Amino acid sequence: MKKTVFATNNPNKLREVQQMLTDIELTTPAECGITEDIPETSDTIEGNSRQKALYIHERLGVNCFADDTGLEVYALGGAPGVHSARYAGEAKRNDDNIALLLKNLEGESDRRARFRTVITLIWNGTEHQFEGVVEGRITTERHGEGGFGYDPVFVPEGYDITFAEMDAQSKNAISHRGRAVAALVSFLNNVEK
């Protein structure tokens, strides 16, 4: 059977998902000759994830999937949301994004937020979407060295430490991406190959 394309350039993400799949082999757009940045111009997380999956499917005609993630802060009307990576500018610097987020939440008592990941899978020409959500709150200062992105300021519900203070395994077990990937993997491990 042909390999399934995961529309990511992140080798950690690829490895993480591949480890959970029993009989499906994954590959990347780059290995299939798609080296340009895949456009993400939608104004929703669902839209971006779908846009990336369709981009691959239109060019390669193979089974493929793509993910997109955003941090949605309740007091900010869901921002940064789909703009999470570029919140503080095109440079996509995590540190600047966190600084802007903390500034925009200064004096705000409602610190509730959630991470949301949407994966779009195109399997034998049919689209499927899988969502993963983790609720939590934004701290007033950075804590921890692990993880990436907004991890140093996000405390998941039921915990009193940030994602950046957790080991990767504990984070993956409850995270937005971990949950979306679990739903994808459960589908792929049961679908007719």
Active-site residues, by number, are: 68
Hey, CA dihedral for 172, 175, 180, 182, is it positive or negative?
positive
Over the Cα atoms of the chain, what is R_g? Answer: 17
Say how far apart CA 155 and CA 33 lie, in whole Å.
39
Q: Which of residues 52, 65, 132, 151 is near ligand IMP by CB under 6 A?
A: 151
Q: Is 165 in the site for ligand IMP (CB under 6 A)?
A: no
Q: Which of residues 147, 165, 179, 188 is near ligand IMP by CB under 6 A?
A: 147
The size of the interface with ligand IMP (CB under 6 A), counted in residues, is 16
- The nearer residue to ligand IMP, 57 or 177, going by C-beta atoms, is 177
Using CB under 6 A, which residues numbered 23 to 52 contact ligand IMP? none
Q: Is 69 in the site for ligand IMP (CB under 6 A)?
A: yes
Token duo for residue 154: 């996000």
- The nearer residue to ligand IMP, 2 or 12, going by C-beta atoms, is 12
115 SS3 class: strand
The string of DSSP codes covering 73-113 is EGGGTT-EETTGGGTT-TT--HHHHHHHHHHHTTT-S--EE
Instruction: Report which residue's Cβ sits closest to ligand IMP.
Output: 149
Q: Is 136 in the site for ligand IMP (CB under 6 A)?
A: no
Task: Please report how close the Cβ of residue 111 comes to ligand IMP at its closest, in angstroms.
Answer: 16
Q: Is 149 in the site for ligand IMP (CB under 6 A)?
A: yes
The secondary element (H helix, E strand) that includes residue 65 is strand 64-73
Report angle CA 145, 91, 14 to the nearest 5 degrees. Answer: 60
Binding site residues, ligand IMP, CB under 6 A: 68-71, 84-85, 94, 97, 147-151, 163, 175, 177
